[in-house]
Amino acid sequence: MTRMPPSVGTVVDWAAGVMFRILFAASVLFLVIPIVVSVVLSFDDRQFLGPFPPTQFSLRWYRSFLDNPAYLEGLIVSLKLAVLSTLISTAAGASAAYVLSAGRWPGRDVVEMLFLSPKFVPTVVIGFSILGFASAIQVFDPFTRLIMGHVVITIPFTVRATLASLIGIKRSLMEAAISLGAPPWRAFLDVTLPLARTGIVAGGLMAFVLSFDEVAVSLFLSDPFTQTLPIVLVAEMRANLNLTVAAVSTVFAAVTVLIVFFLDRVVGLDRVIGQGLYRG
């Protein structure tokens, strides 16, 4: 018996398997390991940036983080900003997605493109443009400016995620509710909103994470008295580089992971039911 030459399919499968392993290794190497290193370093007892791994551990950098009011203020600004801009972006994005999915009208694609465009414009450009626009309309409050900027950069994500979930909802469901006596707004609240919830929450989650660690736009829109945590982090790193930065990064990462984990449990559970909903 001669051996069969490997078929094209087998070769492609094999190549895909190898590619996957390489990508996986690369993401561990460049994404996970640096975070682990920075988490370990944040517990380093040494006064200087010594070679890895640390020889002694302590919580001194966390103490230094809590002793520096700039970090705490930055954290509070970042959280307030992320919560507010997520709420605004989710409400606006979900409404926009609803209008976009409701039907076809002239210019619809252009409007959709406009809502998604901040994704493709460099954030530096967005930051500078909003700074100029804010002063043109006499808005000088940095927090308001930051909200404007963060809503703009997060809205493509809330629009996209909501659009994706709205596509799965049949038009006849709304019409059924209306024919049963519900005015359109009521039918929307009773039918469309519960069925689109997965997408809306997912979009909001992305918006939150995006806003929470945004640097470029915030750099333009903040002022010395209202700074987000990433901005404080960058400034401190420039001024006096010590391992407080590692401690702050660890807290920062932990907050993000916690929020993602918490929301994913809510959304994740919902999605299990959600798939059952849209099937058939």
Q: Is 278 in the site for other proteins (CB under 8 A)?
A: yes
Q: Is 234 in the site for other proteins (CB under 8 A)?
A: no
Placement of tokens 């809205």 in the chain: 155
**How far does Cα 198 stand from its chain's mean position?**
16
Q: Does 237 bind other proteins (CB under 8 A)?
A: no
Residue among 73 and 190 whose Cβ is closer to other proteins? 190
Task: Convert the chain into a string of H (helix), E (strand) and C (coil).
Answer: CCCCCCCHHHHHHHHHHHHHHHHHHHHHHHHHHHHHHHHHHHCECCCCCCCCCCCCECCHHHHHHHHCHHHHHHHHHHHHHHHHHHHHHHHHHHHHHHHHHHCCCCCHHHHHHHHHHHHCCCHHHHHHHHHHHHHHCCCCCHHHHHHHHHHHHHHHHHHHHHHHHHHCCCHHHHHHHHHCCCCHHHHHHHHHHHHHHHHHHHHHHHHHHHHHCCCHHHHHHCECCECCHHHHHHHHHHHCCCCHHHHHHHHHHHHHHHHHHHHHHHHHHHHHHHHHHHCC
Residue selected from 72, 173, 237, 263 as contacting other proteins according to rule CB under 8 A: 173
Which of 63, 186, 257, 265 is the binder for other proteins (CB under 8 A)? 186
Nearest to other proteins of 122, 181 (CB atom): 181
- Per CB under 8 A, does 170 bind other proteins? yes
Which among 75, 91, 74, 76 is positioned nearest to 207, based on CA atoms?
91
Task: Say if residue 53 is preceded by a cis peptide, omega within 30 of 0.
Answer: yes
Q: Quick one: which of 6, 50, 183, 268 contacts other proteins (CB under 8 A)?
A: 183
Q: Which stretch binds other proteins (CB under 8 A): 57-65, 188-196, 217-225, 259-267?
A: 188-196
Report if residue 104 touches other proteins, rule: CB under 8 A.
no
276 touches other proteins (CB under 8 A): yes
**Among 77, 153, 177, 247, contact with other proteins (rule: CB under 8 A):** 177
Residue among 176, 215, 241, 254 that touches other proteins (CB under 8 A):
176
Q: Does 175 bind other proteins (CB under 8 A)?
A: yes
Query: Among 84, 87, 114, 182, which residue interacts with other proteins (rule: CB under 8 A)?
Result: 182
Segment lying near other proteins (by CB under 8 A), choices 134-142, 154-162, 187-195, 244-252: 187-195
If binding is defined by CB under 8 A, does position 103 make contact with other proteins?
no
- Cβ-based nearer residue to other proteins, 77 or 191: 191
Half-sphere CA count of 218, side-chain side, radius 13 A: 27
Q: Interface with other proteins includes 191 (CB under 8 A)?
A: yes
> Does 279 sit near other proteins (CB under 8 A)?
yes
Rounded-to-integer distance, Cα 25 and Cα 77, Å: 36
When asked if residue 179 is in the footprint of other proteins (CB under 8 A), the reply is yes
Given 9, 106, 107, 181, the residue binding other proteins (CB under 8 A): 181
Binding site for other proteins (CB under 8 A): 170, 172-173, 175-184, 186-187, 190-191, 194-195, 276-280
